[in-house]
Structure 1
Amino acid sequence: MSPIADLARAVAQMGDRRFLGVLFWSLCLTVLVLAGVFWGAMLLLGAFLPETVVLPWLGEVTFIDNMASWAAVGVMLALSVVLMVPVAAIVVGFFLDGIVSAVEARHYPQLAPVSGLGIKEQLWDSLVFFGVVVGANLVALLIYLLVAPLAPFIFWIVNGFLLGREYFTLVAARRSGMEGAKELRRRHGVRIWLLGICMAIPLSVPLLNLIVPILGVAIFTHQYHRLTGTRAVP
């Protein structure tokens, strides 16, 4: 029941100013990424598709490019599901400390404040995790094509492992250090993986996936304190 209780606490805190700030920036980041990919896809289609096509009996057809544009919109809606995983990777690197601090200030006020990661460390970790997520999903894409009916489950399992591993490690490292975080992760690997899968599933739902990185950090913060025996304030 602890993940459900922690989810309820995270949802109840969504009105927190720091949570809303991260939601705003993650929304901006998502829109920018999708707009960039859409722009690139339209340029690619424009380079290969003619504006008009001459068909037997019908003559000149001019709506091919419009059809391609609508098809590109559909493709981008589908890609938005996959793109949210690397977006979640970027969000955790840049905004994790603010979310964790907000959760601890509300539910664990007895804890002494700790200094978060520096800007360079955050940037480096975000880039490394982003690369790992993109690489793993490119490899998984080949598997999706081979066993299409199992693609959603593979997506959840792979990204659940990656997201759970990264989110928990970064949350735990703030107070336990990197070695302590890795040790906790080794001892509770299955639990962390399952929580990561619970995070990856809603990431595949458009719009809902925008708040998943924030809720994920909050839930893993509560889980870390559960595992270390720190009692939360109701």
Structure 2
Amino acid sequence: MFDDFFRSVGQLTDPRFRNVLLKGLGLTVGLLVAISWGMVTLVGFLMPDVLSLPFVGEVSFVGGVAMWLALLLMIVLSAVLMVPVAGAFTGLFLDEVADAVEAKHYPHLAPNAEQPITTAIRESLGFFGVIVGVNLIALILFFFVGPLAPILFYAVNGYLLGREYFTMAAMRRIERDAAHALRKRHNGQIWIAGTLMAVPLSIPLVNLLIPILGAATFTHMFHRLVGR
């Protein structure tokens, strides 16, 4: 299991890994910039140039202040959303990561059928929704577990990351039911490996690599378990 992880780390310099990261980041930055521009423009459109306030009179700078506050809010939201949104976009290209791993470490395998873009979008959005939804629930529970909150964070995300990435890697080679059955047989090992992915989630910038490391690590794990 640890060998799967370190073999994936050792391949991070692969140009195909780098291309997936750059595409995910490029789409993320483009989307967040577009949303921020749209929000600031909308606030500027809705706010009047001059606002009359009781006991104060006409105030001419309200629109400008509102636009700057909207921009500040979007910058904060962008910082919070950067990782999950980048993960969702990078998820569209994780087949390329798995292909790179198989080309280098499992060259005897037949080429994998290319995944339709609609399937990639559906899987990526589903993964994003699960991650966000479960973490919102976990965020509520954090108030009740006190100092155990970090353990809860890693446990929840470790389970989710392991479950989703292993299923994704397995379904490239076997049917969905067989992939789920294989995951259930090795659920403990997959959960621990997912936790290895979850720990760096709290490290800025490093967390942007998690989708790529996850796809590579669980591709190795799938072939190791099937090879048994």
| TM-score, structure 2 normalization | 0.77
Take 1:96 and 1:148, find their aligned partners in 2: how far apart are those partners?
Answer: 36
Structure 1 counterpart of 2:221? 223
Q: How does 1:144-183 map to 2 (within 5 A)?
A: 144-183=142-181
Contact 1:19 1:214 survives alignment (8 Å) = yes
Take 1:208 and 1:124, find their aligned partners in 2: how far apart are those partners?
Answer: 26
Contact 1:160 1:200 survives alignment (8 Å) = yes
Structure 2 counterpart of 1:104? 102
Counterpart of 2:87, as a letter, is: A
1:151 to partner: Cα distance: 2.7
Counterpart of 1:132, as a letter, is: V
Take 1:70 and 1:206, find their aligned partners in 2: how far apart are those partners?
Answer: 22
Take 2:36 and 2:107, find their aligned partners in 1: how far apart are those partners?
Answer: 45
How many positions carry a matched residue from both structures?
221
Contact 2:21 2:90 survives alignment (8 Å) = no
Counterpart of 1:229, as a letter, is: G
1:30 to partner: Cα distance: 4.0
Contact 1:41 1:72 survives alignment (8 Å) = no
- C-alpha deviations, 1:27-84, integer Å up to 9, x for none? 224434655676799899999xxxxxxxxxxxxxx9x98x97998599558725xx52
Structure 2 counterpart of 1:196? 194
Structure 1 counterpart of 2:182? 184
Give the RMSD, CA atoms, in angstroms: 3.5
Take 1:201 and 1:43, find their aligned partners in 2: how far apart are those partners?
Answer: 38
Aligned pair in 2 of structure 1 residues 200, 38: CA closer, same or farther (>3 Å)? farther
Structure 2 counterpart of 1:84? 83
Long gaps (5+) in structure 2: 47-60
Take 2:142 and 2:34, find their aligned partners in 1: how far apart are those partners?
Answer: 24
% of aligned pairs identical? 46
Q: Does 1:209 align with 2:210?
A: no
Contact 1:42 1:72 survives alignment (8 Å) = no
1:17 to partner: Cα distance: 2.0
* Aligned partner of 1:134 among 104, 107, 132: 132
Aligned pair in 2 of structure 1 residues 189, 210: CA closer, same or farther (>3 Å)? same
- C-alpha deviations, 1:178-205, integer Å up to 9, x for none? 1111111010001111111110110121
Take 1:194 and 1:44, find their aligned partners in 2: how far apart are those partners?
Answer: 46
Contact 2:101 2:216 survives alignment (8 Å) = yes
- C-alpha deviations, 1:137-160, integer Å up to 9, x for none? 221221123335333222221121
Structure 1 counterpart of 2:51? none
Take 1:142 and 1:44, find their aligned partners in 2: how far apart are those partners?
Answer: 32
Take 2:7 and 2:197, find their aligned partners in 1: how far apart are those partners?
Answer: 15
Take 2:43 and 2:88, find their aligned partners in 1: how far apart are those partners?
Answer: 29
